[in-house]
Amino acid sequence: MKKVVIILNIVVFLMIFSFCGYGIADQTNSGSSTTPSPGATTHIVEMTGNYEFVPSSLTIKQGDSVKWVLIEKDHEVASGTVIEGPDGREGVPDGLWNSDTLTRGRKESFTYTFNSTGTFPYYCESHVDQGMIGSITVE
């Protein structure tokens, strides 16, 4: 009777041991199979005739690019914050990027690549007063 108990114990021990082994093996496999493939994305922000960036706020991954595309009217994309000055709203550039004037038929888009994380506010120099403001969050 004692021998049967000992054998049963060994069988149970081996079963637990092998399950643990399989568990570890599964975790390793799923870990390597779900590794995201590297590859940057270019996100589009439209600059409309209604003095809007669409979408006005966007969350992207580090290394991604944003391409601002002119839809209607002339616009500029400059990085920086917007303050309420004595003469109304005005942009304070931080110097990260400035597209200069985007005009139909001459220069219709501007692309910037975000290599560091953080929140990056921007505005259209000509249309700050109309509330043409946007923000990129890089994770």
Segment interacting with Cu ion, rule: CB under 5 A, options 3-11, 26-34, 73-81, 107-115: 73-81
- Residues 74 and 102: beta-carbon distance below 8 Å: yes
Q: Does 132 bind Cu ion (CB under 5 A)?
A: yes
By rule CB under 5 A, what string of x and - marks binding of each residue 31-70 to Cu ion?
----------------------------------------
Among 127, 133, 136, 138, binds Cu ion (CB under 5 A): 127
Q: Which of helix, strand or coil describes residue 103?
A: strand
Q: Which is nearer to Cu ion, 63 or 69 (CB)?
A: 69
Q: Which is nearer to Cu ion, 60 or 133 (CB)?
A: 133
How many angstroms separate the first and last alpha carbons of the chain?
64
Q: Does 75 bind Cu ion (CB under 5 A)?
A: yes
Q: Does 124 bind Cu ion (CB under 5 A)?
A: yes
To which H or E segment does residue 129 belong? Answer: none
Measured in whole angstroms, how far is the alpha carbon of residue 15 from the centre of its chain? 46
Listed in sequence order, the residues at least 6 apart from 134 whose beta carbon sits closer than 8 Å to its beta carbon are 45, 53, 55, 56, 57, 58, 121, 122, 123
Give contact residues for Cu ion (rule: CB under 5 A): 75, 124, 126-127, 132
